[in-house]
């Protein structure tokens, strides 16, 4: 081979190395792109789940708060005036109890075990209190150890704080946190 000439194998080797480099670069780039897309999809799914939880919790709390208010006033009236709830109030309590059931079913699907247990306990407390209130001759003693101070509003706020914590909202400073968005 005369001087200044290069063997045919050298340019072919360089070309093959170039092609291998391009292929490896594409594989690495595709893998990185797939990883980014997967991370984005998981993030979108997490945001969607959080939004669904927020909607379900808000729907539940909307009816539950009304139930707590009516029950609180009925227990308070029984304790302060020894007067049982009227048939309208009893009907309203039972209707609210029925309205809360489908919302509770949705909540049980997305809530943590701790929140489900807390919700279950409070709902049973409410149902027992309503049963005692709507008995033929309710009295302060038939309502048991329950007083207007600790049921139902304290139970409601305890449940609300558990929901806030599950949604990563600081229960102690929830109002201030939401004020920042207003």
Q: Flag whether the pTM goes above 0.75.
A: no
Mean pLDDT throughout 58-78?
86
- Yes or no: say if 159 and 119 are a contact pair by the CB < 8 Å rule: yes
**84 and 133 in contact (C-beta within 8 Å)?**
yes
3-state percent helix, strand, coil for the chain, nearest multiple of 5: 75, 0, 25
pLDDT value at position 162? 87
Rg (CA), the chain: 32
**Percent of the chain scoring above 70 in pLDDT:** 82
Model confidence at 70: pLDDT above 60: yes
Assess contact for 72 and 148: CB atoms under 8 A.
Answer: yes
Task: Sketch out the chain's domains with CATH numbers.
Answer: 49-171 (1.20.120)
Residues 169/179, Cβ–Cβ less than 8 Å: no
Name the DSSP letter for residue 83: -
- Among 50-64, 125-139, 150-164, the minimum mean pLDDT is found in 125-139
The 10s digit of each residue's pLDDT in 114-131 is 999 988 888 888 888 788
CA distance 156 to 68: 7
Q: What is the mean pLDDT of residues 43-72?
A: 90
Report the candidate in 97, 119, 105 with the shortest Cα–Cα distance to residue 163: 119
CA atoms lying within 13 Å on the CB side of residue 157? 9
Instruction: Judge whether 93 and 85 are in contact, CB under 8 Å.
Output: yes
- Looking at residue 182, what is its pLDDT? 34
pLDDT of residue 177: 43
Q: How many CB atoms lie within 10 A of CB 113?
A: 8
Q: Is the pLDDT of residue 55 over 50?
A: yes
């Amino acid at each position: 081979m005369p001087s200044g000439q290069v063997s045919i194998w050298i340019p072919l080797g360089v070309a093959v190395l170039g092609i291998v480099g391009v292929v490896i670069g594409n594989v690495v780039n595709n893998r990185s792109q797939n990883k980014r897309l997967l991370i984005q999809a998981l993030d979108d799914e997490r945001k969607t789940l959080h939004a669904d939880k927020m909607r379900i919790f808000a729907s539940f709390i909307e009816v539950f708060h009304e139930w707590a208010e009516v029950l609180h006033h009925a227990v308070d009236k029984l304790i302060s005036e020894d007067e049982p709830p009227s048939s309208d109030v009893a009907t309203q309590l039972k209707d609210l109890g029925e309205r809360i059931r489908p919302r509770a079913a949705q909540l049980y699907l997305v809530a943590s075990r701790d929140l489900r247990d807390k919700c279950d306990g409070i709902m049973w407390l409410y149902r027992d209190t309503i049963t005692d209130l709507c008995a033929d001759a309710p009295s302060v003693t038939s309502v048991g150890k329950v007083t207007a101070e600790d049921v139902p509003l304290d139970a409601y706020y305890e449940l609300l704080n558990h929901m806030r914590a599950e949604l990563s909202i600081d229960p102690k400073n929830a109002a201030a946190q939401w004020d920042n968005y207003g």
